[in-house]
Amino acid sequence: MTDRTKKKMVLYGTSGQALYVYEEITQADRGYEVVAFMDLGSEDGFEQHTQLPLISLETWKRDYVDTSDLLLCPGTPSIRRKVAEEFSALGARFAQHSDGDREEPPWKAIEIGVGTYVGPNTMLGNCVKIGEHTQLMINISIGHDVTIGDYVTIAPGAIVSGYVEIEDDVFVGAGAIISNGTPDKPIVIGRGSMLTAGTVVIRSVPPQSRILGVPGRPL
């Protein structure tokens, strides 16, 4: 039985990441109720772990597009971008979920884009701007004066220090650390780059880089 006091959400994806997001949203018990899962090529049935409906694209277009918000769960930025563009063309209304829909004081000047997910125990500093369809998972620390682009994935335990710019389509691995920049010279992580798990970045990274190690070096 659905809760009429909450907005309805369909999760796109059936991977472990989608199940994690489902569990967190359910436990947060605020704002949204997940009512179905959907994936490319899926047929109508039931998601095996949650027993919620697993719906086809046609069922979503017929029964859900006007009554629920869609949250995209794929962890790979390029896949999430492709899916978002396809569903935007179909008139999807995208969800935004931030750790139980937390309320930040206005003086912190935090902006979070549509379709973005911010997981539990993620700390956001002052003057943080996060783009669209970005994923910040659990136990992440974001410093002050940080800009995070669209379709970025930041894995659990990562630390982003102050005066950092993360461009679109970047993947930051679990436990990675991006050191402080300065007001006149922020550290920039170029578009489409990947920082592997545990990497420590102490200088700007060119677009499409793959960075590994302490300190981080190109692969």
For the annotated catalytic residues, the residue numbers are: 144
Q: Are 126 and 144 in contact (CB under 8 A)?
A: yes
Q: Is 217 exposed, middle or buried (0-12, 13-18, 19+ CB in 10 A)?
A: exposed
pLDDT at 15: 87
Q: Are 12 and 39 in contact (CB under 8 A)?
A: yes
pLDDT at 24: 87
pLDDT digits 0-9 by tens, 130-165:
999 999 999 999 999 999 999 999 999 999 999 999
Q: Which of 11-15, 105-109, 211-215 has the highest mean pLDDT?
A: 211-215
Is the predicted pLDDT of residue 1 greater than 60, yes or no? no
**Amino acid making up residue 67:** T
Q: To which H or E segment does residue 194 belong?
A: strand 194-195
Q: To which H or E segment does residue 154 belong?
A: strand 153-154
pLDDT at 99: 57
What average pLDDT does this structure show over 174-194? 98
The span from the CA of 122 to the CA of 185, in Å, is 25
Name the residue with higher pLDDT: 120 or 107: 120
The annotated binding site for substrate is made up of 75
Confidence tier at 4 by pLDDT (50, 70, 90): low
What average pLDDT does this structure show over 12-17? 90
pLDDT at 100: 45
Instruction: Pick the range with the lowest mean pLDDT from 15-24, 70-79, 143-152, 176-185.
Output: 15-24
Residue 35, classed as helix, strand or coil, is strand
The span from the CA of 199 to the CA of 96, in Å, is 29
pLDDT digits 0-9 by tens, 72-115:
999 999 999 999 999 999 999 999 876 545 566 777 889 999 99
pTM of the model: 0.92
The closest alpha carbon to 201, from 183, 192, 184, 175, belongs to 175
Q: Is 183 exposed, middle or buried (0-12, 13-18, 19+ CB in 10 A)?
A: exposed
pLDDT at 103: 65
The span from the CA of 186 to the CA of 183, in Å, is 6
The annotated binding site is made up of 75
Is the predicted pLDDT of residue 5 greater than 80, yes or no? no
Q: Domains of the chain by range and CATH?
A: 7-95 (3.40.50.20), 104-209 (2.160.10.10)
The count of residues in the chain is 219
